[in-house]
Amino acid sequence: MRLLVPVLLLGLSLPAPAQAHQKSVSYSKWTLLEGGALAEIRVRWLELTSLPIAVDQSVETFDRSAVVSYLQTKLVLENDGGACEPVPSSETWLPAERGWLRLEWRVRCASPPRSLQSRLFTSLRNHVHFATILGPESSDVVLSPAAPRAAIDSTGARAGAGELGSYLRLGIEHILSGWDHLAFLFLLIVAARRLRDVAVLVTGFTVGHSVTLAGAALGVVVPHARAVEATIAASILLVSLENVGMEQVRGGVLVILGAVLLFAASALFGGLPAFWGIALFTACYFALLRNLGGGGRLRWLIACLFGFVHGLGFSGVLLEQELPRAQLVRALFGFNVGVELGQLAILFMVWPILQWLRGRDLGRAIVDVTSVAGAAVGTFALLVRVFG
Amino acid sequence: MSRPWLLASGMLAGAVLAVFYIVRLPQSAEPTADAVAWVNERPISRSSYEAALQAVAADRKGGIFREDDRERVLQRLIDQELLIDRAIELGLHERDPQMRNQLVTAMIDFLVRRSEDEARTADEAALRAFYEEQRFRFERSAQYRIAVEGASVPLPEGFLLLKEIEQRLGPTTARRVAELEVGERFRFAEGERQYTVRLLERRDGTVAPFEEAREAVEAAYLRDRSEAAVREYLELARQRSDIRVELD
């Protein structure tokens, strides 16, 4: 407890990956035509600044023909004879939202296309390219430096398993690269003593995030992105405070009050009215824990409730693609299974280590250290996401 | 209610409040019951379809449709939508000067029409207030009865407006007439043309009573409202927009 306040302050002074884990992404749409295809690509100008074609990191200084040439050579449709050829002078610059470029061009293929390859932004390790193939039957592929090529079927007999696989991989990558989801999950299980408790918590979190991931991806609800990201940060802070039994320790009420005031300030000055609710919830939650004689009793509820919010965070990556509904269900399934697999992989790695540490009487210490760190990072992330 | 239940209720209220602001329900699209077709989720309304059919009927003998007319009209409307989609996608509305001008005109027309519709519902009190405020706009011009001696100028009997005198005798004469007192005369010479003009009678300009000027008041009110609507919209748009002038 004595450590908590200085560590919180220290956390505020450190640069941390407080923003939501933004992937580097680009999109393309390939309309298969007789003898070729029409390609349309959407890329952030910012990402192009990482390439040697940028003169001085400014959008205005790009040589547009160099951009066209880069995109046409790095994103290629392939047939049996190799890459399909871009039709000269077929490129058209389309209007795009601020910060993005949209370019269209035609490619000529001597035989039906078989695969799509992306070598875009290979220097950015987390770059993901989403492509939609509009042929006799539409399909999606997700390409990344780890899996730069995907088979496509232009005859109408679709390779659905490949598409499902690419979303499954995306789900795994998403959870593994999402420090905030991992931090929340870790802080949930670090204080659990039995595997049964872990199973309950993980089930609660899974049920929560699966419901809202599906709801948001299918358009049943529309998430408020900034409120979701800020609430995810708040969830890390809240579960950290519970881990150290803040409602029981001397002076803990002041720390809880501080968190409640921080949430109220987020609502009042950060323009996020959802935090009035979170402030009320937090105050009542810790008062109830104190009344019930200690933390841990309602953790399944926290796992499930904040799981709802984390699910809304997961949905962003699928919503960005604006997939047709039929594909969305398949993508959603693959993505969610990927998230669960990534989550299980983390558990299988972390749980034995935690047990080993407990066997050496370090159980309490690891809970305290990680929770204090979690509180610091959660507070910092919350401030950045609300006021940054 | 016991303390734990009270706290649990507080938690529930907090969670509900948070959820209310974190997610919202999607807005359902405006129901378009009379759509005859949908192109990329945009409706083609029955009224557009029927207007197009009427145009075709006007070309047909006796207004009788051929067998494939209905299908052809529908397909043409779908083609139109597809072309409009592509034009928007290519940003023609941003690049083509002719289309930009048409859009500007259409937007002004839209604002004018909407404000005129609103202005037409203005009550009597608003019209009267406008009339009182803008009385000078409903003033009748002064009228003059003159006699011309020494030249055969065809002048109608009775009172004339200065504008009418100007048309017949020229602007210099009209200006001089306006300065004359009743009974006074002046001699006018221009080249070989010489004559004398005498002011017989004058009626000073007066403001027309409201009932007499009602039509003119209504027209002026509509015009004023529509001009104000365009001006107000542009002021609002300027406030909302990020405008940077980089002219040296």
pLDDT tens, residue by residue, B66-87:
778 888 999 999 999 899 888 8
Share of chain A above pLDDT 90, in %: 34
Pair A163, A126: CB distance under 8 Å: no
pLDDT of residue A370: 93
CB distance B15–A287 less than 8 Å?
no
Longest dimension (CA), chain A: 77
Cβ atoms within 10 A of the Cβ of B115, count?
Answer: 20
CB distance A231–B8 less than 8 Å?
no
Residue A93 has pLDDT above 80, yes or no: yes
Residue B197 has pLDDT above 70, yes or no: yes
The contacts of residue A209 (CB under 8 Å, 6+ apart) are A307, A308, A310, A311, A314, A339
pLDDT of residue A14: 45
The contacts of residue A200 (CB under 8 Å, 6+ apart) are A300, A303
Residue B49 has pLDDT above 50, yes or no: yes
Residue B155 has pLDDT above 90, yes or no: no
Helix (H) or strand (E) holding B181, with range, is none
Q: What is the mean pLDDT of chain B?
A: 84
Query: Confidence band (pLDDT; 50, 70, 90) for A17?
Result: very low
Helix (H) or strand (E) holding B108, with range, is helix B97-120
Q: What is the pLDDT of residues B214-236, one digit of tens each?
A: 888 888 888 888 898 899 889 88
For chains A and B, count residue pairs whose Cβ atoms are closer than 8 Å: 94
Q: Which residues of chain A lie closer than 8 angstroms to B13, CB-CB?
A: 277, 280
Residue A15 has pLDDT above 50, yes or no: no
Q: What is the mean pLDDT of chain A?
A: 83
CB distance A95–B94 less than 8 Å?
yes
Pair B18, A305: CB distance under 8 Å: no
Residue A374 has pLDDT above 80, yes or no: yes
Map tokens 């604006």 to a residue. A322
Range scoring the smallest mean pLDDT among A63-72, A295-304, A316-325? A316-325
Range scoring the smallest mean pLDDT among A115-119, A234-238, A301-305, B203-207? B203-207
Segment A5-29 shows an average pLDDT of 58
Measured between CB atoms, does B1 come within 8 Å of chain A? no
Residue-range domain boundaries for chain A: 4-20+178-387, 24-163
**Tokens at residue B154, please?**
């065809």
- Nearest by CB to A223, which of B13, B16, B22? B22
Residue A316 has pLDDT above 90, yes or no: no
pLDDT of residue A22: 57
Nearest Cα to Cα of residue A330 among A155, A159, A152? A159
pLDDT of residue A9: 45
Query: Confidence band (pLDDT; 50, 70, 90) for A380?
Result: very high
Cβ atoms within 10 A of the Cβ of A94, count?
Answer: 15
Share of chain B above pLDDT 90, in %: 12
Distance separating alpha carbons of residues A227 and A87, to the nearest angstrom: 46
How many angstroms separate the CA of residue B69 from the nearest CA in chain A? 31
Distance separating alpha carbons of residues A48 and A163, to the nearest angstrom: 27
Q: Which residues of chain A lie closer than 8 angstroms to B22, CB-CB?
A: 223-224, 227-228, 231, 274, 309, 312
> Exposed, middle or buried: residue B158 (CB in 10 Å: 0-12, 13-18, 19+)?
exposed
Segment B106-130 shows an average pLDDT of 83
CB distance A281–B14 less than 8 Å?
yes
Residue B152 has pLDDT above 90, yes or no: no
Bigger pLDDT: A248 or B37? B37
Distance separating alpha carbons of residues B59 and B63, to the nearest angstrom: 7
Residue A63 has pLDDT above 90, yes or no: no
Bigger pLDDT: A13 or A166? A166
Range scoring the smallest mean pLDDT among A141-155, A158-172, A338-352? A158-172
pLDDT of residue A13: 46
pLDDT of residue A77: 92
Residue B29 has pLDDT above 60, yes or no: no
CB distance A274–B20 less than 8 Å?
yes
Pair A232, A184: CB distance under 8 Å: yes
Nearest Cα to Cα of residue A26 among A110, A124, A166, A155? A124
Distance separating alpha carbons of residues B113 and B192, to the nearest angstrom: 55
Residue-level length of chain A: 388
* Closest residue of chain A to B17, computed from CA coordinates: A277
